[in-house]
Amino acid sequence: MKIQNMPKVLFDVGSTYFKVYEEGQISHYFRDFTIPIYQDLKNKCHKTIESHTPEEIWICSSANGGLSTLIIGSSHSFSLKYTVNTAFNSGINIIDTMLYSDIDTANPPIEKIDVVIITGGIDGVKDIFDSRLFEYLKKVTYNHIVYAGSKDNIEYLSNHIENLVILDNILDNRLKINEKALKQYLTDLYQKDIMAREDIKPLYQITANQIYPTPYIVNLSLPYISESLDVADPFIVIDIGGATTDIHYSTDLINDNITGEGGYDRLVFKKLGVYKSRESLIFTAKRNEYVYELLNYLGVTEDIFDSNSKEAVKFLMQLAIFLVLYKVSRHHGEYIELKLDILNSVVLTGGISKVLSEEDAVIIVKFFYKKLLNFHNTPDIVIDRNYEIWTYGMKHLHKKDKT
C-alpha cells in the first residue's frame, strides 16, 4: 500500500482571492486580473511553492466558473429532484431543469451547456422517452451528455444519442437516492475542465494531485466545522464570493428524503455574487418585494445600487444573505425549502468574512426572521474570520485518498 505524502500546503484559487494554508496559518491574496492565474500565484507565493514538492501541494479552485448543466427528468419528486441535488453537491451550476412531460413547450437554453443529464424511472421501467427528446436535443449545444436513469431505456437512448455516457441509475428500487456514480462522473468532468482551461491547467506544474472544485470541498468540510467553530446543529453555511453565493446545509433541515452520503447538501446561486455578478444581484434585488423595505430598515437609499464605495460592497453582501434566506424559505417555491424555524446557526464564509461585522450580519438575519417568518428569536451568527472552512474538507479528502 502506497501512502501519499501528507499535504504541507493547501491552495484555494477563487474568482477574487487566493487562499493559502501552510503550517496552520492562512494567508489571503487579492488576485491581479491583468496577468494569468499561474503567474499571479507564482508571484505572490513563490517561496511557498518552491519549498515544497508537487506531491505536498493540494489545490481546489472555483476560478474556472464551474460547469453548467441542463437536467431532463421524468418526475419532479424523484429523478429530477435527486439529480439536481447531486449536481449541486458536485459543484455544478444548473442552467435549467426540465420535466420531460413539458418537452413540447420547453425552450432550449441559449448558451452552450457543459453537460446534459437525462434521468428517469427505477430499473424495470421502460418507454419513458420518445423521439421528442432527440428533436429537442438537436436544438441544444452541449459538450457532454449522460444518462442516469432506468437501465431498461439504455439501448434505445444509446441508439439515438451520439457519445451518450451511461451511469448507474440515480434512483434505487426503493426510490432512494443513489448518487455515487453521477457525483463521481461530474467531479471528474470538473477536473477535466480545469485541465483544459488555459488559465487553470498550468497549476499542474506545482501540484501532482487532482485539483478539486471548491464547492465540493466546502461541502466535505461541513461535518468538521463544529470542531473549530462554535456551531450547533442544524446549521447552514452561506459562502458569498465574487461570482456566486452558495448555501450548504445539514439535511435535517429538509423534509425530502434526498440525503446523500455525507448528510449535507448544497445550493448555488450563480448570479448572486458581489463582484462579477454584481449587476445580476442588483437586478434580482430590485424585483424582490421586501428589498425596498430593507433599504429603509438599514437607513440607505436606492442610490447605493449605483455606488462603488466600501459601504455599497457591504450592503451588497448583506443583500446576498437576505436573498439566499428568502430563496430557501416558504416564500419562494423554486428551490428546496429549508426549515429555517429550527435553524440554530448561520455560518458566513467567503469574501464576506473580510467585509461584514457580526452586527452587520445580525441586523439582516433579524429583519428576515421578523418580517418574513414572524419570529423574534434568530439563529446565532458565526463568521469564519480566518476563511478556513475549505481547509477542513481538503484535509479530510487527503485521508480518504490514501492509496
Alpha carbon distance 135, 100 (integer Å): 13
Q: pLDDT per residue over 50-64, tens digit each?
A: 999 999 999 988 765
- Confidence band (pLDDT; 50, 70, 90) for 168? very high
Check whether 40 has a pLDDT greater than 60.
yes
The answer to whether the 9-64+197-215+390-400 and 229-387 domains have the same CATH topology is yes
pLDDT digits (tens, 9 = 90+) for 233-287: 889 998 876 656 788 887 788 765 555 555 676 666 655 555 555 777 787 788 8
Q: Are 140 and 108 in contact (CB under 8 A)?
A: yes
Whether residue 393 contacts residue 347, with contact meaning beta carbons closer than 8 Å, is answered with: no
| Band of pLDDT at residue 154, cut at 50, 70 and 90 | very high
The CATH number fitting domain 67-180, selected from 3.40.50.720, 3.40.109.10, 1.10.3720.10, 3.40.50.10490: 3.40.50.10490
Cα torsion 85, 83, 70, 96: sign: negative
Phi/psi at 325 (nearest 5 deg)?
Answer: -60, -40
DSSP collapsed to 3 states, the chain: CCCCCCCCEEEEECCCEEEEEECCEEEEEECCCCCCHHHHHHHHHHHHHHCCCHHHEEEEECCCCCEEEEEEECCHHHHHHHHHHHHHHCCEEEEEEEEHHHCCCCCCCCCCEEEEEECCCCCCCCCCCCHHHHHHHCCCCEEEEEECCCHHHHHHHHHHCCCCEECCCCECCCCCECCHHHHHHHHHHHHHHHHHCCCCHHHHHCCCCCCEEHHHHHHHHHHHHHHCCCCCCCEEEEEECCCCEEEEEEHHHCCCCCCCCCCEEEEEECCCCCCCCHHHHHHHHHCCCCHHHHHHHHCCCHHHHHCCCHHHHHHHHHHHHHHHHHHCCCCCCCCCCCCHHHCCEEEEEEHHHHCCCHHHHHHHHHHHHHHHCCCCCCCEEEECCCCCHHHHHHHHHHHHCCC
Alpha-carbon distance of 111 to 118, in angstroms, equals 18
> What are the C-alpha distances in Å from 14 to residues 190, 213, 355?
15, 10, 17
pLDDT of 3 reads: 39
pLDDT > 70 in the chain, percent: 87
Domain 229-387 sits in CATH at 3.30.420
Listed by start position, the domains of the chain span 9-64+197-215+390-400, 67-180, 229-387
pLDDT of residue 2: 39
Q: Lowest mean pLDDT: which of 23-37, 103-117, 174-188, 277-291?
A: 277-291
CATH number of this structure's domain 9-64+197-215+390-400, picked from the four choices 3.30.420, 1.20.1080, 1.10.3470, 3.30.460: 3.30.420
In Å, the largest CA–CA distance within the chain is: 63
pLDDT tens digit sequence for 312-349: 888 888 888 888 898 888 876 555 778 899 999 999 98
Side chain identity, residue 106: A
Look up residue 391 and give its three cell numbers.
Answer: 481547509
Tell me how crowded residue 102 is: count the other CB atoms within 10 A of its CB.
Answer: 9
Q: Could you tell me the CA-to-CA distances from 257 to 181, 263, 319 in Å, in that order?
A: 19, 11, 31
Q: Are 322 and 294 in contact (CB under 8 A)?
A: yes
54 cis-preceded (ω within 30 degrees of 0) = no
d(CA 208, CA 135): 43
Residues 113 and 140: beta-carbon distance below 8 Å:
yes
Mean pLDDT of the 178-190 span: 87
